[in-house]
Amino acid sequence: MTDELLDLAIATAGGHELWNTVRGLKVDISIGGPIWASKGWPTGRTFDQVITLDVGREHIVFSPFTRPDRRMVFDAAADRVTVQTLDGEPVETLDPARAAFKGMLRGSAWDAPHLGYFLGYACWNYFTTPFLFAHPGVRTREIEPWHEAGQTWRRLEVRFPAEIATHNPDQVFYFDTLGMQRRMDYVVEINGSTLVGHYTSRHRSFDGLLVATRRRVFRRNPDDSVNLNLPSITLDIHNVELVRSGTEETQP
């Protein structure tokens, strides 16, 4: 199997040449949906924040995080989440982070560090895709196409190595004829191994980088069909700033 679909997806997103000039991203985002009430956060709560991520390592900062005077730092290599004051003083730490979800069920509440771990690894993965698929240790192969809503989407099966914190090792990404990502399927291991169908739309170019500005997350059925009546998580991206190589540090 060739890498033609992966090459198309990367070219459509902006290409290797552009991505190689980028050191980080700053994303203005609103995160909502009914799931947060089930995880112990106020009903109708929307998390409006700026996230700053390093594209070369799985490291991301959310600010503000859960309250106006806090921020959150997630670092996958250290397997650590730290909730800090805006001046960088640690308030709460989850270390090791992934193991802290052991024994939790789908209805278990999450405190701020647990929430930070989930949002941290998830958003880093979302905003580095599809370039992430070219990282060492990531394996891809094109599988049979998928027909949905009168469209045919090509599908890329992706296997992530253990050193990349993500929902689960094996995921499937759907692309339209132009190479734009339209959907992704995964299993949220840290939330009761929930089956998910995650849709991406309203793509916009930010300084040459094509980004889906609307993301909607739904429960997926075992046959890969999805009930699209009510999303459990919503992500709306308002702006993306590319942090170029050679600029000053933007995150701790």
* Residue in 137, 124, 226 with CA at minimum distance from that of residue 174: 226
Domain that holds residue 48: 4-239
Tell me, yes or no, whether 73 lies in a domain: yes
Stated as kind and residue range, the H or E segment containing 90 is strand 90-94
Residue 39 pLDDT > 90, yes or no? yes
32 falls within a domain: yes
Name the residue type at position 69: D
pLDDT at residue 222 tops 90: yes
Rounded Cα–Cα distance for residues 55 and 242 (Å): 10
Q: Compute the average pLDDT of residues 190-215.
A: 97
**Position 152: which residue type?**
T
Q: Is pLDDT above 50 for 153?
A: yes
Q: What is the mean pLDDT of residues 152-159?
A: 98
244 located within any domain:
no
Query: If pLDDT is split at 50, 70 and 90, which confidence band does 204 have?
Result: very high
- For residue 249, being part of any structural domain is answered with no
127 CA to centre of own chain = 6
- Domains in the chain: how many in total? 1
> Is there a domain that residue 155 lies in?
yes
Label residue 140 by pLDDT band (50, 70, 90): very high
Confidence class for position 250, pLDDT limits 50, 70, 90: very low
Give the residue among 170, 98, 180 at the shortest CA–CA distance from 138. 170
What integer is the mean pLDDT of 144-150?
A: 95
Confirm whether 166 is domain-assigned.
Answer: yes
CATH number for the domain including 231?
Answer: 2.50.20
* pLDDT confidence bin for 1, thresholds 50/70/90: very low
- 140 assigned to some structural domain: yes
Structural domain includes residue 218: yes
Position 110 pLDDT exceeds 60? yes
H or E, element range at 17: helix 15-19
Average pLDDT, the chain: 95
d(CA 90, CA 162): 27
Q: Has residue 35 got a pLDDT over 60?
A: yes
Nearest-angstrom CA–CA distance, 101 and 190: 6
pTM for this prediction: 0.94
